[in-house]
A and B are shown apart, each in its own frame.
Chain A
Amino acid sequence: MKVNEHSFIFATGMRVRDVQKEKVIREKALKMIVKHGTEGFSMQKLAKAANVSPATIYIYFKDKEDLILELCRAASAKMAEITLKNFDPSMSFEEGLKVQWINRAKYCLKYPEETHFLEQIRHSAWQEKLPSTISEKFKTVMHEFVANAIKRNELVKVPVEVYWSVAFAPLYNLVKFHMTGKSIGGRKFNFSDKIMMETFQLVLKALTP
Chain B
Amino acid sequence: MMTSQSAFEKKEFNPLYILIFKTNITSENDLQNLSSVLNGHSSVLKWNVDTDDTDKVLRIESIENNTEEIIGLLLQSGFYCEELND
Contacts and interface: CB of A to CB of B under 8 A. Distances in A.
Interface of A: 2-4, 7-15, 42-44, 52-56, 58-59, 62-64
Interface string B43-62: 00010101011110101010
Interface in B46-86: 46, 48, 50, 52-55, 57, 59, 61, 65, 67, 83-86
Contacts of B55: 44, 54
Nearest to B57: A58
B26 to A, nearest CB: 14
Given A15-B86, A58-B20, A10 B15 contact: yes
A62 B15 contact: no
Contacts of B34: none
Interface of B: 11, 15-20, 46, 48, 50, 52-55, 57, 59, 61, 65, 67, 83-86
Contact of A3 (B52, B61, B65): B61
Contacts of B83: 12
A57 to B, nearest CB: 9
A1 to B, nearest CB: 10
Contact of B54 (A2, A4, A44, A53): A44
Contact of A62 (B19, B59, B67): B59
B50 A55 contact: no
A64 B51 CA distance: 10
Contact of B11 (A4, A14, A44): A4
B19 A43 contact: no
A59 B21 CA distance: 11
A11 B53 CA distance: 19
A62 B16 contact: no
Nearest to A62: B48
Given A12-B67, A12-B83, A58 B59 contact: yes
Of A11, A12, A56, most buried by chain B (CB within 10 Å of CB) is: A12
A12 B19 contact: yes
10 contacts: A3-B61, A7-B15, A7-B16, A9-B15, A9-B16, A10-B16, A12-B67, A52-B86, A59-B18, A64-B53
